[in-house]
Amino acid sequence: MTGNRNAHPESGSIEVICGAMFSGKTEELIRRLKRARIARLHITLFKPRVDTRYHSEDIVSHDQSRIEARPVAHSSEVLEQVGTTDVVDIDVVGIDVVGIDEAQFFDEGIVDVARKLSARGIRVVVAGLDMDYLGVPFGPMPALMAVAEQVTKLHPVCMECGGPASHSFRIVPDDNQLMLGEKESYEPRCRACFNRGMQNP
């Protein structure tokens, strides 16, 4: 075998980084990928094409740290681009770590993609919102959390009471789930302050 040293099936794993808006998910994803890069592992990063907030090619967190990312329209494109279809062997491509940002916006197929990548010995690091603005589990995130070895829930500060926040409270009227996370549109809130806000908008 040639190529990357970590591409053994037993080394594959799935990590999920989740939490409310402003919990630092993307910063944590970037931190883990940069550490892997320092360890001379080959990394690649994907994001759904829907997210064009700041830049079309880089993932840019709210604190402006950045790393290049490939926008894809469908989960199947991740497998195609990493080369883990049956046609191309992973050892030829040599990817060790695959990052996926804003995973809540992917189709349900992203769960199977993560499992297939990890079965090929790849470390998969997924970041995404665990709940939408109604407090409902968001897209494929619950299933990704279920199949992951490690789940990290991050908690920003509740803007009402200063406690640890778990929910993203929308402070502008809009019922589109896809509305993206501009700072002026949401604020992190704990469960109690979120519920109070939903009852008295």
Question: What is d(CA 101, CA 45) in angstroms, rounded to the nearest whole number?
Answer: 8
Question: What is d(CA 10, CA 181) in angstroms, rounded to the nearest whole number?
Answer: 37
Residue pair 14/143 in contact (Cβ under 8 Å)? The answer is no
Nearer to Zn ion, 125 or 190 (CB): 190
Q: How far is the CB of 198 from Zn ion (least distance, A)?
A: 13
Q: How far is the CB of 154 from Zn ion (least distance, A)?
A: 16
Nearer to Zn ion, 98 or 190 (CB): 190
Would you list the DSSP string of 132-168?
-TTS-B-TTHHHHHHH-SEEEEE--B-TTTSSB--EE
Is residue 193 at the binding interface for Zn ion, with CB under 5 A as the rule?
A: yes
Nearer to Zn ion, 154 or 193 (CB): 193
- Judged by phi (left if over 0) then psi (alpha if -120 to 50, else beta), residue 71 lies in beta
Q: How far is the CB of 165 from Zn ion (least distance, A)?
A: 7
| Number of chain positions touching Zn ion (CB under 5 A) | 6
Burial label for 171, CB within 10 Å (0-12, 13-18, 19+), is middle
Question: What is d(CA 114, CA 3) in angstroms, rounded to the nearest whole number?
Answer: 21
Burial track 22-49 (b if 16+ CB lie within 10 A, e otherwise): bbbbbbbbbebbeebeeeebbbbbbbbe
Is residue 20 at the binding interface for Zn ion, with CB under 5 A as the rule?
A: no
Which residues 133-192 are close enough to bind Zn ion by CB under 5 A?
A: 158, 160-161, 163, 190
Q: How far is the CB of 188 from Zn ion (least distance, A)?
A: 9
Q: Catalytic one among 10, 15, 68, 102?
A: 102
> The tokens 């709940």 sit on which residue?
131
Residue pair 101/124 in contact (Cβ under 8 Å)? The answer is no
Residue 102 appears among annotated catalytic residues: yes
Is residue 88 at the binding interface for Zn ion, with CB under 5 A as the rule?
A: no
Which residues 92-131 are close enough to bind Zn ion by CB under 5 A?
A: none
Q: How far is the CB of 173 from Zn ion (least distance, A)?
A: 21
Nearer to Zn ion, 47 or 189 (CB): 189
Nearer to Zn ion, 164 or 181 (CB): 164
- State the residues that interact with Zn ion by CB under 5 A: 158, 160-161, 163, 190, 193
Give the residue numbers annotated as catalytic, written as ranges. Answer: 102
